[in-house]
Structure 1
Amino acid sequence: MKNIQQTSLITMTINKVDFQLQEEHNFDWLKQLGSVFCVFDQQDSGNISFGVEKDNQRYFVKYAGAKPIEFNGNPKEAIKRLKEAVPVYQMLEHPNLIRLLNHFPTENGYALFFQWAEGECLHSHWTFGGPAKYTNPKSPFYRFKKLELEKRLKALDAIFSFHTYIESKNYVAVDFYDGSILYDFNNDETTICDIDFYRKSPSINDIGENFWGANRSKSPEEYKIGSPIDSITNVFNFGAIAFGLLGGEMDRSFSMWAANQGLYQVALRAVEDERSKRYSTVNDFYDAWKSV
């Protein structure tokens, strides 16, 4: 089916930057925002994103309303989801989060306008898909895993401190995975770039096994409809992220772990299948992590 779809793709060009969609779409509204220098057109969420530059300032534009090549849903649903993300970015504004500057409707969709955050996505599947993510020396994930331990621990600290903050605001992270992390290799700074699906806590799994998230960092309850999605769920997510950035990802053996035994035990408790065995809050998990 995908091959049939691929043959009917159309290529569009804005400011000499090419990208593909399933059908034509009007992007004239982009001109007022600046000159496009890059496009992210392979997301399955229904969004397409642009890097734009104006007056020597860079910005990031996330847009719903078109039909990106990896999207098989209804653009109206994508528009609805993107609109619902606006108050989430506003409520959870934080130094470690990409900053929302503006949002507005267009003729056929909706756009979120962010300050540009320097960095490379640790799950850049559009450039380093499949095994290349782990084996290509140019892959951001590969390069991150080669960083000295202190720099990787600093990145995790940025992730954990932000999520302790959102917990204090009674929010729960949904669809947080390594694709939500931007790492600036020049300045060793970490930015969280995608919180579109974060929800008020507590919440429940209203989708089932296809609940938002990556299999490598999802908790057992994120596969089961009606299960709670809360701080205990997030504890698992961040334990799994720690294994991804410091260890063997799905292989959670100590031999694959780059840090000390104490941090390993904290991460291991976080990813217990049984919810009652995990830390009860992200704050408790982060406190245990810092104490080691």
Structure 2
Amino acid sequence: MENLQKTNLITMTLDKVDFQLQEEQNFDWLKQYGAVFCVFDQQDSGNISFGVEKDERKFFVKYAGSKPIDFTGNPEDAIERLKKAVPVYQSLEHQHLIKLLDHFSTEIGYALVFEWFEGECLHSHWSFGGIAKYTNPNSPFYRFKKLEVEKRLKALDAIFSFHTYVESQRYVAVDFYDGSILYDFKSNETKICDIDFYRHSPSINDFGEDFWGSNRSKSPEEYGLGAPIDSITNVFNLGAIAFGLLGGERDRSFSKWDANQGLYEVAIKAVEEDRNKRYSTVKEFYDAWKSVLN
């Protein structure tokens, strides 16, 4: 079935940029935002995204309603998910989150328009899939891991600060992983993107093993149907991200850790398999992290 999908793809062109879908679709509505300069067509969420520029201003447009290359679901479900994401971006507006500017229905879909951020995604699987993420010198993740520790700590501070705010607004992060992190190597600025699945807290795992997220940063409860998804879950996620950006990712030994022992001890407590041994809130985790840094 998968190979059949791959061979039956339609190649479309918008403003000299080629991309592929499983079915043709009219994107004339995009013209109001200018010329397309890039397309992200390899997401399995059912969304396709465009970089668009008009009068020297750039936008990131995320759209549901088509059938992207790797999407096996129903476009109607993707549209509903994208509509539900709007109040999440509005409620969690923050200096470290990409900024939602507009959202609207098209003839058969739904679009969200964001301010463009010149960052690169730390899990750019469409360009550096598999081992290339870790070994190709052009991979954003590889380049990030080569930065001095201070710059990586600053990026983590942005991530922890944002998620402390998420917690204060009574939300819980869902599907947060290194693919949600954008890093601008020129300005050393970090922003979070793709918070579409964040929910009101507390929540529960309503999918079981296939709960949203990456195996690199999912907590044990994110594999168990009916398990709580809450601040303690997010403490694990953030600890796992710290090991991804400062350590050996799923190899959490101190020998792979690039920062000091105090920060290692904070991170290792955050990723305890037993929920009761972790920090009880994101704020408590972030405070412990800052107290070691200071």
* Structure-to-structure mapping, 1:211-290, within 5 angstroms: 211-290=211-290
SS where residue 182 of structure 2 aligns? strand
2:253 aligned partner, one-letter code: S
Distance 1:80 1:126 in 2: 25
Match of residue 139 from structure 1:
139
Mapped pair 1:168 → 2:158:
no
Cα distance, 1:280 vs. partner? 0.2
SS where residue 209 of structure 1 aligns? helix
Match of residue 7 from structure 1:
7
Match of residue 151 from structure 1:
151
1:179 aligned partner, one-letter code: G
Residues 184-240 of structure 1: CA distance to partner in whole angstroms, max 9, x if unpaired? 000000000110000000000001100000000000000011000000000000000
Cα distance, 1:3 vs. partner? 1.4
Cα distance, 1:2 vs. partner? 1.6
Match of residue 68 from structure 2:
68
Mapped pair 1:189 → 2:183:
no
Cα distance, 1:118 vs. partner? 1.2
Number of residue pairs the alignment of both structures matches: 292
1:223 aligned partner, one-letter code: Y
Cα distance, 1:66 vs. partner? 0.2
Residues 46-70 of structure 1: CA distance to partner in whole angstroms, max 9, x if unpaired? 0000000001100000000000011
Distance 1:120 1:94 in 2: 19
Match of residue 199 from structure 1:
199
Cα distance, 1:82 vs. partner? 0.1
Question: What is the identity percentage for the equivalent residue pairs of Structure 1 and Structure 2?
Answer: 79
Distance 1:6 1:75 in 2: 18
Residues 94-133 of structure 1: CA distance to partner in whole angstroms, max 9, x if unpaired? 0000000000000010000000011100000000000000
Match of residue 33 from structure 2:
33
Distance 1:156 1:22 in 2: 38
Distance 1:110 1:71 in 2: 16
Gaps of 5+ in 1: none
Cα distance, 1:26 vs. partner? 1.2
Distance 2:5 2:103 in 1: 31
Distance 1:138 1:200 in 2: 38
Cα distance, 1:42 vs. partner? 0.3
2:154 aligned partner, one-letter code: K
2:7 aligned partner, one-letter code: T
RMSD over aligned CA atoms reads 0.5
Distance 1:56 1:115 in 2: 12
SS where residue 210 of structure 2 aligns? coil
Distance 1:171 1:78 in 2: 21
Residues 142-179 of structure 1: CA distance to partner in whole angstroms, max 9, x if unpaired? 00000000000000000000000010000000000000
2:196 aligned partner, one-letter code: D
1:282 aligned partner, one-letter code: V
SS where residue 163 of structure 2 aligns? helix
Mapped pair 1:115 → 2:115:
yes
Distance 1:48 1:211 in 2: 21
Distance 2:81 2:147 in 1: 36
SS where residue 18 of structure 2 aligns? strand
Distance 2:2 2:137 in 1: 29
Cα distance, 1:276 vs. partner? 0.1
Cα distance, 1:33 vs. partner? 1.3
Distance 1:181 1:257 in 2: 20
Cα distance, 1:4 vs. partner? 1.5
**Which stretch shows the higher mean deviation, 26-35 or 158-167?**
26-35
1:169 aligned partner, one-letter code: Q
Gaps of 5+ in 2: none
Cα distance, 1:243 vs. partner? 0.2
